Amino acid sequence: MYGSVEGNIIGTLYFLAYQVIGIYFAGRFFKKEEKMLQLLLGSVTGTVALHWFPTIVSFFMDFTISSHIVGLILFALLIMVISTAGLKKKVFGSVEVPTRGVKGSFQMLWKEISTSPVYWIIALLFLVFVGLLSSHSIPMVDGAVYTGQCGYGDMNMHLGFITSIARQGTFPPEYSILPGVELAYPFLCDSVSSSIYLFGTSLRWAYMLPMMLAVLQVFVGFAYFTKLVLGCRVKTMFAFLMFFVNGGFGFAYFVDKVQNNKENFNRIFTAFYETPTNYVGSNVRWSNVIADMLLPQRATLFGWAILFGTLALLYQAAKTKNMRYFVMAGIFGGALPMIHTHSFLGLALVCSIWVVGYMYKLVGGELEGENTVAKYVIPIGLLCMCLLQRNTTFLENIPKTGLVVAGFIVASLVALVLYYVWKVVEHGKWQELFKTWGVFLILVLCLALPQLFRWTFQQAQGESFLRGWFNWANEEDQYIWFYIKNIGITAVLAVPAFIYAKKRKFFIVAPTLLIWAIAEFVVFQPNVYDNNKLLYVGYSLICILVADFTVDLLKIFHKYKKVGSYVCGACILFVGTFSGILTIGREWKSGEEYELYNRNQMELCEFIEDNLPEDAVVLTNDRHNNAVASLTGRNIVCGTGTFLYYHGVSYQDRLPEIQAVYEAPLSNTDILEKYKVSYILVGPEERGSYNVDEVAIQSMATCIFSENDVQLYQIDME
């Protein structure tokens, strides 16, 4: 749990080895691209490899140091073969360009960074993120572990996955909070930390290190993709700030009340989840990307780390028609399902529109002309949504009608794709389509389908998955007003931005309309709110389009009023980011504010780490901040429904059994045998949850650890 100096060094070197190999490969595979894109794609390559190579080997050797060494060797050998054989024989096409050496490469990279203001903003936000991560990621204070506001919930679950995968070593892994049930949650976002933890690093460093690199990949990936689309540094900076420091008009709920009571504004920094981007009482649900998506939600973080780099690569692939780019994009996309399923689905929806645009141009369509589609689609779509919200019959049958509408949308999309495929064949361009998007699709399917059938589809068989819905998390507001107050100035500018966009840019951001339409009528998981993980993919494209429109508008204004244009631009940025800044400020202040595990629990975990078998099963209550499950990697009979329900697994039968054991242990030894329980924990949480018969427990078990009000008993085996 605490690691060692040698372990921290070895684990870090193992992690960096994948990065070095990936960056070396990208330097050879993408020689024609700018150094920043090479660095980004190389880093993503290393991350994807670290997610998957140890995992694949672990199917045959379990999750051990040996499997990790073999995985690293296989990755290095594969890169060597591709670099020395595949590229020299030009299997993927010509790549020869003049080389500039290491010094020249660094000089070019520095020139890119120093001349683009967005990279300085990235550096600043990276430091903010690292500061938040450090104060939230199990810091020790007087022997206890604390965290910030957004780390109080899901981090416990992720820590449990990390430690149990590393400690138990069985593969595929099972839920340590529901032993006997295979872990179908996208666990690769956590196994990447398990890999480092396995080599003896501290749990805190194993948790933080991959996240620090991943957030850089997210920042740079989005910035570079935006730069490719817009070709303007100012627009790139504008889109970057509007996406990552996002916030709607939620600040008005606090500022408006300052007149009567200044404490209403101070609540932002003191209350639990009463921020301008997450104020449920006033139906404000559009969370800040940094504070509520990237920091606490590891799957989203690692999914986006690959997603935005893949979008940048696909954009270049479609532009250059280079098969090598489609090959790498296919590998990246195919790797996503067990890293972050929502990112995979978002990528699929984006590609379904982009391939239509590609085929449209392939058969002679002009992408530089005026865009007329949005002039009708946007107003009509908003009107339909408003009417549906007032349609009582529709709302009363949402489970069916939502799926019907979504099915119609998907069927229309499939028909559109097939129509253009037929047109491409008719024009004799099918070979070009096959060598580009065809190659991409084949690779994605070959890599993704085994994951989907092995894990995702099994998890999603329950009734709480994939069901009809309407209007995401809106509980009380009129449809348009809900999104205006939640998304803010970006939502206001989005409609004219769509209408203003030329055909090329419209095709690039049009997936937003598809994503929004589907996510408004279908829920993909038990928690309706989690549809935002898909909606944010569309929102990222909206920010790009709004930046393009807004900056162009300000340029026109600049011709008449220079100072006024600057003031107007600053005001738009302020209004668009003020709620986000306040939310990030609240998260910064909350660091080390909430106790996760007290001193007694930490001493218990040290004892368990040193003395209990790694496959031991400990009986505890079902609290979410369970130190035994999170920090030691040992199994407990049943964890909190807060985690398990939203993963779609059945756990309810175990709860009364746990209660029965604590309250009448001598009469329920069969339950202990059923779940192979060898240890019983009795602490304040157990005593508060059940009428614990501790005398009976003492008659059948030996107390092997006691610290104040925390006792651990080992069941006496006859």
pLDDT for res 480: 94
Question: What is the chain's length?
Answer: 718
DSSP 679: E
Range with the lowest mean pLDDT among 257-271, 563-577, 601-615?
257-271
Nearest in space to 466 (alpha carbons), one of 503, 519, 419, 516: 519
How far is it between the farthest Cα atoms of the chain? 91
Residue 365: pLDDT above 90?
no
DSSP 632: I
Residue 196: pLDDT above 50?
yes
* Beta-sheet pairing, 710-715 with 679-682: antiparallel
pLDDT for res 92: 55
Q: How far apart are the C-alpha atoms of 522 and 524, rounded to whole Å?
A: 6
How many other β-carbons are positioned within 10 Å of the β-carbon of residue 110? Answer: 11
Per the CB < 8 A criterion, the answer to whether 230 and 38 are in contact is no
Mean of the per-residue pLDDT values for the chain? Answer: 91
Per the CB < 8 A criterion, the answer to whether 191 and 51 are in contact is yes
Q: How far apart are the C-alpha atoms of 323 and 434, rounded to whole Å?
A: 10
pLDDT band at 373 (very low <50, low <70, confident <90, very high): confident
pTM value is: 0.94
Residue carrying structure tokens 């993503």 = 44
Q: How far apart are the C-alpha atoms of 100 and 563, rounded to whole Å?
A: 43
pLDDT band at 351 (very low <50, low <70, confident <90, very high): very high
3-state secondary structure (DSSP) of residue 497: helix
Residue 106: pLDDT above 90?
no
Residue 306: pLDDT above 60?
yes
DSSP 714: E
In tens, the pLDDT along 521-560 reads: 999 988 999 999 999 999 999 999 999 999 999 998 878 8
Residues 6+ apart with CB under 8 A from 81: none
Per the CB < 8 A criterion, the answer to whether 235 and 547 are in contact is yes
**Cis peptide upstream of residue 296 (ω within 30 degrees of 0):** no
Per the CB < 8 A criterion, the answer to whether 637 and 179 are in contact is yes
Per the CB < 8 A criterion, the answer to whether 122 and 40 are in contact is no
Residue carrying structure tokens 């003395």 = 611
CA angle 397, 400, 405 (to 5 degrees): 105
Per the CB < 8 A criterion, the answer to whether 716 and 701 are in contact is yes
pLDDT band at 98 (very low <50, low <70, confident <90, very high): very low
Residue 95: pLDDT above 60?
no
Q: Which two tokens stand for residue 171?
A: 């593969």
Q: How far apart are the C-alpha atoms of 615 and 179, rounded to whole Å?
A: 10
Range with the lowest mean pLDDT among 76-85, 154-163, 413-422?
76-85
Rg (CA), the chain: 27
pLDDT for res 458: 79
In the chain the first and final C-alpha atoms are separated, in Å, by: 33
Which residues are paired to 182 by β-bridges? 174
Q: How far apart are the C-alpha atoms of 247 and 223, rounded to whole Å?
A: 19
Q: Which two tokens stand for residue 122?
A: 């990235």
pLDDT for res 33: 86
Residue 680: pLDDT above 60?
yes
Alpha helix locations (H) across 99-231? 101-114, 117-136, 154-168, 188-197, 203-230
Percent with pLDDT over 70 in the chain:
95
Residues 6+ apart with CB under 8 A from 495: 378, 379, 382
Render the burial of 238-267: b for 16+ CB within 10 Å, e for the rest: bbbbbbbbbbbbbbbbbeeeeeeeeebbeb
Q: How far apart are the C-alpha atoms of 678 and 637, rounded to whole Å?
A: 11
The dihedrals phi and psi of 8, each to the nearest 5 degrees, come to -60, -40
Report the C-alpha dihedral over residues 410, 411, 412, 418, rounded to 10 degrees.
110
Residues 6+ apart with CB under 8 A from 670: none
DSSP 135: H
Q: Which two tokens stand for residue 105?
A: 């490469």
Per the CB < 8 A criterion, the answer to whether 331 and 447 are in contact is yes
3-state secondary structure (DSSP) of residue 617: strand
Go through the domains of the chain in sequence order and give each one's CATH number: 218-264+281-589 (no CATH), 598-715 (3.40.50)
Q: Where are the beta strands (DSSP E) in 331-403?
A: none
How many other β-carbons are positioned within 10 Å of the β-carbon of residue 664? Answer: 12
pLDDT for res 605: 95
In tens, the pLDDT along 216-256 reads: 999 999 999 999 999 999 999 999 999 999 999 999 988 76
Q: Which two tokens stand for residue 263?
A: 């404490």
Residues 6+ apart with CB under 8 A from 498: 374, 378, 506, 509, 545
Angle between helices 323-334 and 35-61 (to 10 degrees): 50
In tens, the pLDDT along 40-69 reads: 999 999 999 999 999 999 999 999 999 999
pLDDT for res 96: 47
Residue 623: pLDDT above 60?
yes
Q: Which two tokens stand for residue 190?
A: 């956590």
DSSP 716: P
Q: How far apart are the C-alpha atoms of 439 and 326, rounded to whole Å?
A: 7
Encoded amino acid at 446, one letter: C
Per the CB < 8 A criterion, the answer to whether 496 and 379 are in contact is no
The dihedrals phi and psi of 10, each to the nearest 5 degrees, come to -65, -45
CA angle 17, 18, 23 (to 5 degrees): 100
